Structure 1
Amino acid sequence: MSDFDYDLFVIGGGSGGVRAARVAASETGARVALAEDDRYGGTCVIRGCVPKKLMVFASEFAEVAEDARAYGWSMDRGDFDWSAFRTRLNGELDRLEGVYRSLLKNAGVTTYDARAVIRDTHTVELSTGESLTAKHILVATGGRPVRPDIPNADLGIVSDDIFHLPELPKSILIIGGGYIACEFACILNGMGVEVTQYYRGAQVLRGFDEEARGLISDAMKERGIALHTGTDIVEMRCATDDDLSGKSDGAISMGTPMHEIAGDAPQGENRDGPIWVKATNGQSGVFDAVFFATGRSPNTVDMGLEEVGVKLGRKGEIVVDEYSQTAIPSIYAIGDVTDRVNLTPVAIREGMAFVETVFRGNPTPVDHELIPSAVFTQPEFGTVGLSEEQAAEQEAVEIYSTSFRPMQSAFAGRSDRVMMKLVVSKESRKVLGCHIVAPNAGEMIQLAGIAVKMGATKEDFDRTVAVHPTMSEEIVTMRKATRTA
């Protein structure tokens, strides 16, 4: 009989932690416990990927009626009912949380609805006052959104809050240029919110392929999003009566239709509602809401990690080796809390590799190379491998790229454009990167990712017969390089 209460204690009930816990318990016979102080399912299921994608779906219906008329249907666009959608959304999240709880219960995992901190290399202490021991401890506490360090930043919301708004604002300012900022700019714009976006960099979606970034930025602007690059927020406060009447210095000058400034609320009422902001260019404006999408930090605060010898990085992330092991042999960490590749499927893979390494005696490093991903802007962006810029820094490459108006939206009279792009090594002919900007690009890149991961060459793509008529056929019909780099 073991001297420990459990063979494994998992801290965190998100996708990675739940997968590791239930597989270790059900497939290796380990005695496993898991503690979660919030809702089971973690960021992805409760306040991230799943509700966000459902909001993406909801926002895309805005164009259906107009397109349907172009195809001969008699259809009028109605109004979006946020309250009805949110009620259904909450019901779906409740259902999914129940699924996660059932998976753990059926696998034989003991669960604690409590916050856990690490007291020594084999002991966790719960917020209920219980202390429990385990041969191995796995930290899978994920990350959290952060606000910038400016006065009154608490007036703004973050991504965790967006799903709980009692009503949609008429106007919103989004701060940030990463995928979260751009996705919610498109979502809220599609739902009828007047969206302004500030990003301090020269172009949104830093780190992604430059050509794709440009196309997405142009599409966002064409859809009515007031995107201001090279711009950041320097000051914010509750709007005054003078702000609301347009009498304050430099007011309402960002070049976008905002909330009807003097409209809905009588003077002196709703003082906690509209927010006045000033930008780095000296201009100012009033918005119903300010949304900070300015980064995320690992959830490692006040967990006792450093006290027991676990090393943390500059951002507070847990430092691990290729097997997800920390500086303390009995303590491991997976997922966003390690700040390696912050994607749900990666956390799940890391959890599986942890079980394989620790409970099956088969040391398994996690493969973080050539991971496909998608950005759910409108249009979507699917990507795998190196961008043109990254590849060109490593070796000589050929670029095969095309941009065109897809049949479905062109027939409806819309100006939307899509892009298909391959980055190819001149020497090996391997496809180093594939980038797709198009409706359902996420679905396409999953399949393209298999070929790129397998090391397919450009000639392998060329030998593949096209499926016609589709957007994706362009991936296998581009014969001449657009340019070299």
Structure 2
Amino acid sequence: MAEFDYDLFVIGAGSGGVRASRIAASHGAKVAVAEEFRVGGTCVIRGCVPKKLLVYGSHFAEDLADARRFGWDTSGATFDWPTLRDNVAAEVDRLEGLYGQTLGNAKVEVFRERAVVAGPNMVQLASGRTITAANILIATGAWPGQPPIPGAELGITSNEVFHLPALPRRAVIAGAGYIANEFAGIFNELGVEVTLATRGDKMLRSYDQEIVGKLLDISRHKGIDVRLNFPFRAVTRQADGSLLVDGGDAGPIETDLVLWAIGRVPNTKGLGLEAAGIALDGEGAVVVDAYNRTNVPSIYAVGDVTNRVQLTPVAIREGHAFADTVFGNNPRTIDYSAIPTAVFSNPPIAGVGPTEDEARALYPELKVYRSDFRAMKNVLADRPERALYKMLVDGATDRVVGLHLIGPDSAEILQAAAIAVKAGLTKAQFDDTVALHPSMAEELVLMR
């Protein structure tokens, strides 16, 4: 590979790109990565990490209210948005520094500028410099979408929401996925009047709809105005500075902030991929094979830019597998089955395996077990919301094929339980496990 400047050039220093760079370098490759924004990518800089910190911050609203039932005097407690916002930003800065150290320790050269593909073995930097590489990896992630309607530019996306100078009095959150539901919960707990609206007739389509139905009921009980079948027509600025969202026959909504959370599109625009002959699908995603290779043999792609499974842990695994395959003499692929996922809504939901509707089509002898209960903390706090755990079992083999939860700490509980689903454990093996009492997780081994 001596005729090239680098063995590997990575475009994008997000989770997948950083992992691929580090592992390739550990296999002896000469590696460089270009990042036009900040090292760490969406998850670390403007995604799951800062969002989860906002989720934690918003939980104190209910915790402080509940504390009175536990004997605590919380009178006089106040909330200051700039304090939370700035502390979250400082943590993001710290993590970005650590990601940079990781690349530096691995002897990966970092170009902090935009790079585009200029050929099968060539990239061009924004500064004009041309660099050659034996292999190129596209790891540019995805970008928040906006609807093609008049006034869409008056709204913001998840890219900007972490930097609001002040919280709005009212907010319309447009979308039906995890980002929309998570920010609806965050803003609602922080005192914002929230309307959660979507064009469709369902929320969180990829999750078990019985679980989603309970989330919507609880969300509405907490004061979130959830509107389905809301056809966004336009957004206009009113004389007093507020926004008017035109919902056609569904009526208008006056608000102070519109947050577009309608999905994320692969970030391939302007990267030179078409000119290089790289195949894209109808949504602009890079088409790759099981080994993350495009139709151009020297060019690969991992993570959200491929639009396979838009999850940070998946991008990390894809980046690692790519590096092992190309530079570690260890060809391997990723198993996309039984991936646990969560929505950090209020309360959170989590699931692994097919939903009940999907499982009924796959397993003719499907058995469904449920536990509908009120968490002990909620009982003493006099909070009425209930948790729901569902276990899906293939009656022909007794194997647990799916778990779907809504309730406090659902994601924390599901992570360990997902191992059992991935391993193919049976309902009898769950039943044979002694319950850890008192806990919410014990419901997983008590369903009869």
**Fold equivalence (TM over 0.5):** yes
Letter in 1 for 2:116: V
SS in 2 for 1:276: strand
- Residue aligning to 2:176: 177
Off by >6 Å, runs of 4+ in structure 1: none
Cα displacement (A) at 1:282: 4.1
- Residue aligning to 2:430: 461
| TM-score normalised by structure 2 residue count | 0.98
Q: Does 2:334 align with 1:366?
A: yes
Cα distance in 2 between the residues matched to 1:46 and 1:336: 15
Cα distance in 2 between the residues matched to 1:429 and 1:15: 37
Cα distance in 2 between the residues matched to 1:73 and 1:468: 25
- Residue aligning to 1:165: 164
Cα distance in 2 between the residues matched to 1:387 and 1:115: 41
- Residue aligning to 2:93: 94
Q: Deviations over 1:51-93 (max 9, x none)?
A: 0000000000001222111011122262221111111111111
SS in 2 for 1:63: helix
- Residue aligning to 1:482: none
- Residue aligning to 2:246: 278
Contact 1:424-1:430 at 8 Å conserved across structures:
yes
Q: Does 2:236 align with 1:237?
A: yes
- Which of 403, 416, 419 matches 2:385? 416
- CA RMSD of superposed structures (Å): 1.0
Letter in 2 for 1:196: T
- Residue aligning to 1:260: none
Q: Does 2:300 align with 1:301?
A: no
Letter in 2 for 1:400: Y
- Which of 287, 294, 299 matches 1:331? 299
- Residue aligning to 2:256: 288
Contact 1:176-1:293 at 8 Å conserved across structures:
yes
Cα distance in 1 between the residues matched to 2:422 and 2:250: 48
Contact 1:65-1:77 at 8 Å conserved across structures:
no
Contact 2:85-2:162 at 8 Å conserved across structures:
yes
Q: Does 2:390 align with 1:391?
A: no
Letter in 1 for 2:295: A
Contact 1:203-1:214 at 8 Å conserved across structures:
no
Unaligned stretches of 5+ residues in structure 1: 241-270, 480-485
Letter in 2 for 1:20: A
- Residue aligning to 1:190: 189
Cα displacement (A) at 1:295: 1.1
Q: Deviations over 1:179-223 (max 9, x none)?
A: 110110001101111101112222311121011001111111111
SS in 2 for 1:169: coil
- Residue aligning to 1:9: 9
What fraction of aligned residue pairs are identical, expressed as a percent? 48
Which one has a bigger Cα radius of gyration? 1
Cα displacement (A) at 1:177: 1.0
Q: Deviations over 1:429-466 (max 9, x none)?
A: 11111011111111111101100000011111111111
Contact 1:297-1:315 at 8 Å conserved across structures:
yes
| TM-score normalised by structure 1 residue count | 0.91
Contact 1:410-1:416 at 8 Å conserved across structures:
no
Contact 1:142-1:336 at 8 Å conserved across structures:
yes
- Residue aligning to 1:261: none
- Residue aligning to 1:319: 287
Cα distance in 1 between the residues matched to 2:250 and 2:373: 38
SS in 1 for 2:385: coil
Q: Deviations over 1:31-53 (max 9, x none)?
A: 00000000110000000000000
Letter in 1 for 2:6: Y
Letter in 1 for 2:386: R
